């Protein structure tokens, strides 16, 4: 609304000024100026404002402006004489607006040729009214040469405005298309991120369910003993199972909402897609920690679809461990390679690396060299969990020093059939 009224005010100011760029084609006070093209352009632009209102106000503004210039700078110092000299221009713009409204010109924006013909007709009608008021004698109006000039001027002015107007509309259309393209790209990125988050969230649900079942089995085993201490441990295990169950329920509600937007029904996905999810999610994790870490992925070989949760669990743990090990800036390279029926995951970073005295302890539960800002030690179960899961799937995991003597590299070797989708 504000933009519309600003444009309306701009029209009232611009048309009188543009009218001063003029020439006189006939032997009277009738002038041809840029005021008419400017008025035509604004009428085409301001579709929500009545042309009659525009015609009244612009006609009055042009008349008053010319009278002011005449009495201030011209030979006429009398307002009444200046009014007699310039009042026909008021009826020019009023007639222009009346005919513009009568033919409903703004309904034909999609038909430029018709728009041009009607624009010429409107200008000829408005010019006829002004000439009639300025030259009561019929002779100047009946001269064929006069009408040729009027029509030619109207043709050039109207089609010049239409060309400019359509050029602006074309630029606006391209700008709108570009904006829509950017919005679509943002939406695709959002959908892609939601898709990845649903997979990660469903993995959390999967892990939470396993933890709950394991804790409950531990509770049942401890409950069988009559020892008081074991009774306390059993209650603790039950409480852990209940807490994990609550986490699972909360995640289920979130997952239900997201999965309604993003369809993901299979527990198996292409391995390159899963590795890509690990790559992108850890880029976001690194940014959230305020670190500048470059992560890249290299795939070597053809792989069948792999189990989502098992693959993400082991690979994501290694990459997260590398992100957390790097202090501020660094790089991480993920390599996934197939060797016949074996898949090899390698995660190398250029962080501080692993001291030789820690290489044998790094997979022990509870062992850690990482501390938060408050000095609290990490749980030290990430790598132990990875080792346990890998060995459960008949694979191996090794830690060592990356090339160049800096950083760390973790290598997991697994039988492909342990994570690949079985062919039925």
Distance CA 392, CA 60 (A): 90
Pair 129, 91: CB distance under 8 Å? yes
According to the model, what pLDDT value does residue 226 have?
Answer: 58
pLDDT tens sequence across 35-53: 888 888 888 888 888 889 9
Which are the contacts of 81, defined by CB distance < 8 A and separation ≥ 6? none
pLDDT tens sequence across 20-38: 876 666 555 566 778 888 8
Q: By CB neighbour count within 10 A (0-12 exposed, 13-18 middle, 19+ buried), where does 240 fall?
A: middle
Judged against a pLDDT cut of 80, whether residue 124 lies above it is answered with yes
Count other Cβ atoms within 10 Å, centred on residue 289: 12
pLDDT tens sequence across 209-241: 677 677 766 767 766 665 556 666 666 676 676
Higher pLDDT, 202 or 414: 414
Q: How confident is the model at residue 136 (pLDDT cuts 50, 70, 90)?
A: low
Strands 329-339 and 342-349: antiparallel
Q: In the numeric block, which tokens belong to residue 192?
A: 């892609």
Which are the contacts of 232, defined by CB distance < 8 A and separation ≥ 6? none
| DSSP 8-state secondary structure symbol assigned to residue 224 | T
pLDDT tens sequence across 171-199: 888 888 888 877 776 666 666 666 666 77
According to the model, what pLDDT value does residue 131 have?
Answer: 79
Minimum mean pLDDT among 111-115, 217-221, 266-270: which range?
217-221
Query: What single string gives the DSSP state of each residue in 338-403?
Result: EETTEEEEEEEE-SS---GGGTTTTTSTT----B-TTSPBP---HHHHHHHHHHHTT-EEEEEEPG
Judged against a pLDDT cut of 70, whether residue 77 lies above it is answered with no
* CA angle, 51 then 52 then 58, to 5°: 85
Q: In the numeric block, which tokens belong to residue 191?
A: 């959908």
Query: What single string gives the DSSP state of each residue in 117-134?
Result: HHHHHHHHHHHHHHHHHH
Pair 349, 325: CB distance under 8 Å? yes
Placement of tokens 């829509």 in the chain: 180
Count other Cβ atoms within 10 Å, centred on residue 15: 27
According to the model, what pLDDT value does residue 138 have?
Answer: 44
- Complete domains list, the chain, with CATH: 2-142 (1.10.1760), 268-418 (3.30.565.10)
For residue 410, give the 3-state DSSP assignment. strand
pTM: predicted TM-score of the whole model, two decimal places: 0.49
pLDDT tens sequence across 372-389: 555 555 556 678 778 888
């Amino acid at each position: 609304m504000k933009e519309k009224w600003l444009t309306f005010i701009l029209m009232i100011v611009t048309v009188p000024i543009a009218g001063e760029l003029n020439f006189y084609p006939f032997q009277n006070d009738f002038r041809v100026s840029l005021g008419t093209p400017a008025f035509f352009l604004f009428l085409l632009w301001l579709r929500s404002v009545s042309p009659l209102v525009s015609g009244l106000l612009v006609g009055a503004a042009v008349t008053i402006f010319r009278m002011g210039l005449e009495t201030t700078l011209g030979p006429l110092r009398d307002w009444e004489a200046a009014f007699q000299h310039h009042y026909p221009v008021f009826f020019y713009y009023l007639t222009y607006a009346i005919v513009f409204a009568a033919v409903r010109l703004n309904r034909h924006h999609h038909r430029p040729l018709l728009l041009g013909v009607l624009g010429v007709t409107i200008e000829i009608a408005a010019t006829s009214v002004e000439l009639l008021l300025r030259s009561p004698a019929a002779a100047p109006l009946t001269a064929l040469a006069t009408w040729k000039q009027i029509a030619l001027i109207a043709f050039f002015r109207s089609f010049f405005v239409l060309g400019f107007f359509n050029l602006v509309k074309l630029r606006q259309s391209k700008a709108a298309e570009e904006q829509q393209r950017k919005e679509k790209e943002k939406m695709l990125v959002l959908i892609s991120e939601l898709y990845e988050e649903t997979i990660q969230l469903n993995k959390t649900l999967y892990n939470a369910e396993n933890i709950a079942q394991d804790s409950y089995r531990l509770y049942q085993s401890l409950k069988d003993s009559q020892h008081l201490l074991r009774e306390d441990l059993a209650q603790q295990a039950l409480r852990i199972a209940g807490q994990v169950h609550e986490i699972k329920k909360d995640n289920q509600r979130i997952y239900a909402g997201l999965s309604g937007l993003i369809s993901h029904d299979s527990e198996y996905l292409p391995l390159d897609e899963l590795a890509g999810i690990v790559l992108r999610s850890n880029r976001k994790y690194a940014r959230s920690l305020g670190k500048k870490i470059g992560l890249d992925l290299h795939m070597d070989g053809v792989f069948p679809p792999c189990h989502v949760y098992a693959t993400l669990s082991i690979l994501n743990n290694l990459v997260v461990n590398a992100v957390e090990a790097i202090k501020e800036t660094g790089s991480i390279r993920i390599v996934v390679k197939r060797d016949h029926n074996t898949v090899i995951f390698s995660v190398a970073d250029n962080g501080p690396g692993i001291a030789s005295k820690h290489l044998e302890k790094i997979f022990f539960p509870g062992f850690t060299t990482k501390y938060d800002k408050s000095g609290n030690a990490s749980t030290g179960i990430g790598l132990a969990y990875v080792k346990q899961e890998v060995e459960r799937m008949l694979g191996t995991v090794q830690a060592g020093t990356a090339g160049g003597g800096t950083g760390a590299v973790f290598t997991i070797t697994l039988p492909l059939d342990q994570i690949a989708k079985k062919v039925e």
